[in-house]
Amino acid sequence: MNLIKFKYLYILNMYRYLILITIALLCIFLYKSNKPEHYINLIDNGSFKDGAFSPNNLGTNYGNSVIKLINPGESSYILEQTHVSEGYKLNTTVVPNISYKLSTWVAYKSWDGNKNTFHISFSKKCGKNTINTNPGKIISTKTINNTVWDYRTFIFSIPNNSDGRVEIYIGYKPSATSGLRYYTDIKLEKYYELINNLPSKKGLLLFLSGFHDESLKDTSLVWKDISMNGNDMHFNSPISKESKSLVLENSALLGPSDKIIPNENQFVIVWSGVMDEFSVGDLIEIYANNKYGRGIKISYKNSVGINNKLIISIGREIIEYNIGIVHKHTQYAVIKDNKKIILLVDGYIIKGNTNPSINYPLEINNKPALFNKNGLLKGTIDFLVIYNKEYNKSDILSIKKFLTNYKVDLSTIISTPNSCKKEIEHYVENTKTINSCPFNITNKNNPCNSIECKNIDWNKKPYSTKCLSNIKSYCKETKDGFCDSFTNNNVCKSSNKILNSLTKPEVKGKPLVKDKPEVKDKPEVNDKPEVNDKPEVKDKPEVKDKPEVKAKPLVKSKIIYKPNTFESDINSFPKIDMSKYIRKDKIPCWGCNLK
């Protein structure tokens, strides 16, 4: 009896153990399945490689077939749908509150039905499913062998209360009586609204940016992850933002270490910024449960000039790199490719003091990753990006270029003049009189274009006071030949000498004194007798012993000429034939209007 009871209890305990093991395995499966996906296309074999349907394809394929046809996709095969097909059904899982982009190439042949390219049903935890039917937006078009292919996309967001299941129909209820539809390169991928042009999105886990206000805000406590994976960085005190960069002055926590680095064999950590000299501290630390008590730690040991080091500690390995100048903007990338660690600085591979092979598990745990431990590291950071995938050097260079483009301010490189004319109507109004303008018409600032001289007849004088004031201002700033009619400047020196000489009457029996400076302070002498037998003395200095020989004061004419007053009129001068004194073509000035 005791033996039977013992066997019974043994079998009962075995069943209990089996049940517990099954529950544990189920929990592990559910935990893994609830973690965010990291594959760029959630539709497996959307290009029908080897003539096969996608593993995501479920249900009947009545009216659907895979055929060979030249197309713009990634394989030689396409999906052909006849008018009797109800659609090509695909099932997959997604993450709630995330945006996705569904895309495909589509072509039609004698098709008379609708063009419902996409039909999506979101399964909810409670309530009815959400359904969307959309023809898709045409992004580009290609013609191959007389067949026109449209590349169509549809961007949508998963509801918060979704259970993660999505049902997709490609070509839904066509309502057609004849014709064919062709599809290839069916893709469902995450849509990154703020960084959609990022060249490498596969495996993107974290994207912190100082150039996006949606990511980094001054005085905030959070640096938001715009990859929409929820890997935000949380600070213990308000942050400072300077020149679109985070100022390193306090520490912060990221998400669980095994969420930041879920694949310890392949990952990429990219960051850029400027570090202070003599700054020593840990940039980031990922925790693990291995016997070495260390997961992944990236540290700076800065001195002055080029004597600066980056230290990567991973497991039992400690690798030092001489990285040169750090107080200039620099981009770094740490790559883990299975057993190797690679460091790139501004796209160049830097060799460390050792080159270890990491052939043991790190066992990264779920302890929150730590950024800038104790706030010891000083400087600025503008980007921090993490991938759950190994990328090669060319991929890193494309990411580097993408990040660098954010720092380029095109307004400081390209400076184009303003080609828009102001007050264009004003210039149009004056086109009728521009031919009679005596000033240089190639200068848009000439008085003919001014409001003060608007509708002035330049052949009738005197001009208005406002117009004369405008002429005066123009002639002070501009060399224009016609200004000599109003001012006695030195632009036309030969002509001015003649005009000046003509204002001085000759003394009988004595040659005309030319170029004699005017004596303003002495009174005018009109009664001095003429001296006929004494030769004229020119440019002779005053001799004190001969008081009789003095500079003769200028004898002024009855016409008073005020050379610096614009109100004087050119017609106040005597009518003189200028050709008698100087040839017209020898006048040394441009634009003289002498007739």
Evaluate whether residue 387 is within a structural domain. Answer: yes
> What φ, ψ does residue 130 adopt, rounded to 5°?
-90, 130
Peptide bond into 96 cis (omega under 30): no
d(CA 528, CA 481): 41
Residues 297 and 385 in one domain: yes
- pLDDT digits over 10-27, tens only? 677 776 767 777 776 655
Which of the residue ranges 189-193, 317-321, 337-341, 446-450 has the most confident prediction, judged by mean pLDDT? 317-321
Which band of pLDDT confidence, cut at 50, 70 and 90, is reported for residue 432?
very low
CA torsion sign for 253, 257, 262, 263 is positive
* Burial track 96-117 (b if 16+ CB lie within 10 A, e otherwise): eebebebbbbbbbeebebeebb
Give CA–CA dist 350/323, Å, rounded: 8
Last residue of a domain, one of 190, 215, 250: 190
Q: Indicate whether 82 belongs to any domain.
A: yes
Mean pLDDT on 78-90: 93
Residue 514 placed within a domain: yes
User: 541 in a domain, yes or no?
Assistant: no
Across 169-187, average pLDDT: 93
pLDDT for the residue numbered 167 = 93
- Same domain? For 223 and 141 the reply is no
pTM: 0.59
pLDDT greater at residue 484 or residue 503: 484
Q: Are both 235 and 152 inside the same structural domain?
A: no
- Compute the distance between CA of residue 86 and CA of residue 64 in angstroms, rounded to an integer: 9
CA dihedral 33, 39, 44, 45 (to 10 degrees): -170
Same domain as 182, residue 230? no
Residue 253 shares a structural domain with residue 172: no
255 and 287 part of one domain: yes
Query: What angle is formed at CA 506 by the lines to CA 500 and CA 509, rounded to 5 degrees?
Result: 150
Residue 328's pLDDT band (cuts 50, 70, 90): very high
Pair (213, 178) in one structural domain: no
Predicted confidence at residue 430, as pLDDT, reads 45
Which pLDDT belongs to residue 490? 42
Strand partners, 130: 122
Q: What is the span of the domain harbouring residue 152?
A: 49-190
What secondary structure letter does DSSP report for 364? Answer: B
Structure tokens at 60: 């009947």
Q: What is the mean pLDDT of residues 338-351?
A: 93
Q: How many domains does the chain have?
A: 3
Mean pLDDT, range 366-377, rounded to an integer:
95
CATH number at residue 83: 2.60.120.260
Residue 44 placed within a domain: no
pLDDT at residue 583, rounded to an integer: 62
Q: How many CB atoms lie within 10 A of CB 237?
A: 12
Mean pLDDT along residues 511-520: 47
Distance CA 45, CA 143 (A): 24
pLDDT attached to residue 103? 96
The contacts of residue 94 (CB under 8 Å, 6+ apart) are 37, 42, 100, 158, 162, 164, 166, 188
Is 554 strand, coil or helix? coil
Overall average pLDDT of the 214-234 stretch: 92
Q: Is 392 found in the same domain as 325?
A: yes
Euclidean distance between CA atoms 280 and 140, whole angstroms: 51
Cβ atoms within 10 Å of 507's Cβ, excluding its own: 16
* pLDDT on residue 124: 81
* Domain stops at, among 410, 439, 463: 410
Same domain? For 269 and 378 the reply is yes
DSSP 220-235: -SEE--TTSS---EEE
Looking at the structure, tell me whether residues 248 and 327 fall in a common domain. Answer: yes
On whether both 248 and 375 belong to a single domain, the answer is yes
Question: Are 59 and 166 within one domain?
Answer: yes
With contact defined as beta carbons under 8 Å apart, do 154 and 101 qualify? yes
For residues 562-578, one letter each, b for 16 or more C-beta atoms within 10 angstroms of the residue's C-beta and e for the rest, the string is eeeebebeeeeeeeeeb
Q: Is residue 42 part of a domain?
A: no
519 pLDDT above the threshold of 90? no
Residues contacting 453, CB < 8 A, separation 6+: 447, 463, 464, 466, 467, 470, 471
Q: How confident is the model at residue 567 (pLDDT cuts 50, 70, 90)?
A: very low
Segment 388-416, tens digit of pLDDT: 988 888 888 888 888 888 765 544 444 45
Q: Which residue has the higher pLDDT, 32 or 568?
A: 568
Mean pLDDT over all residues of the chain? 79
Residue 470, φ and ψ in degrees, nearest 5: -65, -40
Is it the case that residue 39 has pLDDT exceeding 70?
Answer: no
Whose CA is closest to 227, among 91, 38, 399? 38
User: For the ranges 38-52, 236-250, 275-289, 428-442, which has the lowest average pLDDT?
Assistant: 428-442
